[in-house]
Amino acid sequence: MRIDTMLAEGRTNSFEFFPPITDEEQIALTRTLQELEDLKPSFVSVTYRGGSSSRDRTYALVRWLREHGKVESMAHLTCVHHVREELVEILEDYRSIGVENLLALGGDPDPEHGQAGELRHAIELVELAREVGGFSIGVAAHPAGHPLSPDLVTDRRHLAEKLRIADFAITQLFFDAVAWRRLVDELGALGVEKPVLPGIMPITTVASIGKMRDLGGIVPESLVERLHAAQEDGPKAVRAEGVAASTELCEELLELGAPGLHFFTMNRSTATREIFASLQHE
């Protein structure tokens, strides 16, 4: 089923994975997928880092999910370092195996790669996917603004332009429900009311706070203090506090009208399942 159809029918729950490289990673991912089956995900998404090897791994995992028929999948695709003809080939390959859902991304340039690619921005990839046809297309949204945007006004204008031709957006990680609501309201003021799925990633260690910030997430000082306070009782207490904070974030987002929840799993299921269990017991 197309994701835009799912969103039109009601709330979605979805999970993001990265393609395994080693046999050990494949075993771990298979176990995680099995553990998440009981949560009845609306769809799962498969990341893409660019380049032929990553492209092949993403395609292989999406195809494997299609063949096993247990969950709908969405393929990530970046336009950086690809020529137009190659992107058309990738899109047609996905369409040939019945993949209907695509997350169209610009991608981060690799200084060692050399060639930038014919398409420079995600909106061009959205337009190309529309030309090929047959896809429900999502794009990325940044509650705090894209790192390369000169200001928030410009960021929102560019995001609105993408969403006028795409079907939905998924945010990068964030930790304040008000930031999601503000993003949606600002898009609405620009005449765009497409669904924006909030991206969720629990912080389960104090050390990962810096990593979350490196990934573009603004970690509220109140959450930092909460995790540091829990550190006095050890790593398990920090993890429990991080899961509790993410559960509270999800509750607030749903109260504010979020159309669903999209979890960045890092190919592990435990924290996601704990959050779901807490939400279901509310």
CATH at 77: 3.20.20.220
**Which stretch, 34-48, 63-77, 95-109, 179-193, has highest mean pLDDT?**
179-193
The reply to whether 175 falls in a domain is yes
The reply to whether 64 falls in a domain is yes
The reply to whether 87 falls in a domain is yes
pTM of the model: 0.93
Q: What percent of the chain has pLDDT over 90?
A: 69
pLDDT tens profile 268-278: 889 999 998 88
Please choose, from the candidates 4, 43, 14, 9, the residue with its C-alpha nearest in 3D space to the C-alpha of residue 163.
4
Annotated catalytic residue 16: yes
The reply to whether 233 falls in a domain is no
The C-alpha angle with vertex 51 and arms to 195 and 272, in degrees rounded to 5, equals 45
Between CA 136 and CA 126 the distance in angstroms is: 10
The reply to whether 9 falls in a domain is yes
The reply to whether 278 falls in a domain is no
Between CA 266 and CA 15 the distance in angstroms is: 9
pLDDT of res. 110: 62
Number of domains in the chain: 1
The C-alpha angle with vertex 196 and arms to 6 and 266, in degrees rounded to 5, equals 85
- Per-residue confidence band for 89, with pLDDT thresholds at 50, 70 and 90: very high
The reply to whether 101 falls in a domain is yes
Catalytic residue among 16, 100, 186, 241: 16
Residue 281 pLDDT exceeds 70: no
Strand partners, 199: 173, 262
Please choose, from the candidates 194, 201, 92, the residue with its C-alpha nearest in 3D space to the C-alpha of residue 139.
194
* Residue range(s) defining the domain that contains residue 160: 3-201+259-267
pLDDT tens profile 166-214: 999 999 999 999 999 999 999 999 999 999 999 999 999 999 998 887 7
Between CA 116 and CA 81 the distance in angstroms is: 5
Burial class (CB in 10 A: 0-12, 13-18, 19+), 35: middle
Between CA 67 and CA 72 the distance in angstroms is: 11
Least confident of 57-71, 103-117, 241-255, 261-275: 103-117
- Per-residue confidence band for 7, with pLDDT thresholds at 50, 70 and 90: very high
The reply to whether 282 falls in a domain is no
